[in-house]
Amino acid sequence: MAENVESKENQVSRHQEVGHKSLLQSDALYQYILETSVYPREPEAMKELREITAKHPWNIMTTSADEGQFLSMLLKLINARNTMEIGVYTGYSLLATALALPEDGKILAMDINKENYELGLPVIQKAGVAHKIDFREGPALPVLDQMIQDGKYHGTFDFIFVDADKDNYLNYHKRLIDLVKIGGVIGYDNTLWNGSVVAPPDAPLRKYVRYYRDFVLELNKALAADPRIEICQLPVGDGITLCRRIS
Ligand code: SAM
Ligand code: CA
């Protein structure tokens, strides 16, 4: 009995350690994935950045280690070279991307907050991949509008990771569909939004979860109905929907 209680407590604290990033039913199963397949293969720099980020007050925002591993594999599978990231925070997904790209690979990275990016930047520099990153401080939408207007960026991105303000995802999609190349992939993150997409209307949800939920629901419906893309929604991290542009 005492042993049972202790092991339950252990599971809870270990799950907290990884930031409640999994929608898997069993915490133990998620921990198993991390300890068996993710942490042993996690590059040293990513481990260092994950540990720095864990001490930051907004650490709930970071990409989980298993999702970082997934992004890295995906980028290599599609031979991505020219990429974009909207929503950088301390840079865990950015570093995963920078490490996965070839030496001449590029990431246009945007965030309204530069301070958090600068927290992770020394680790990115030490890993020798900072030259691949073009960081722009500020809201992403005007940058996208500028690129659309410019004309020369149409159909040029192999991969775009969207992990920022959920109330703008549909606005991003309207623009990104032109910027990603045919056959390229846009990944929208947090599309299961803490499981709240299936919560009953009166469920006790945290304020920000409740606020963004309708936007996530609307996005999911719009992506499913968009004939210009093929989609695949995966229960990795907080849910990621991959959209492959087909026309
Ligand atoms: N991908 C990051 C990682 O791996 O740690 C996590 C990104 S975090 C969930 C969301 C980020 O989006 C925040 O750093 C926030 O400052 C940024 N953000 C919010 N609104 C934005 C906007 N309009 N344009 C660009 N970035 C924005
Ligand atoms: Ca995310």
pLDDT at 9 over 50: no
Q: Minimum-distance ligand to the CA of 112?
A: 1
Share of the chain above pLDDT 70, in %: 91
CA distance 81 to 102: 7
Q: Which CATH number fits domain 42-245: 3.30.1490.100, 2.60.200.20, 3.10.129.10, 3.40.50.150?
A: 3.40.50.150
List pLDDT tens digits, range 170-197: 999 999 999 999 999 999 999 999 999 9
Q: How many CA atoms lie within 13 A of 123 on its CB side?
A: 25
Contact 111, 85 (CB under 8 A): no
Contact 169, 188 (CB under 8 A): yes
* Boundaries of every domain in the chain: 42-245
- Residue closest via CA to ligand 1's atom 18 equals 164
Distance from the alpha carbon of residue 238 to the mean position of ligand 2, in angstroms? 7
Q: Minimum-distance ligand to the CA of 63?
A: 1
| Average pLDDT of the chain, as a whole number | 92
Average pLDDT (13-42) is 77
Contact 82, 156 (CB under 8 A): yes
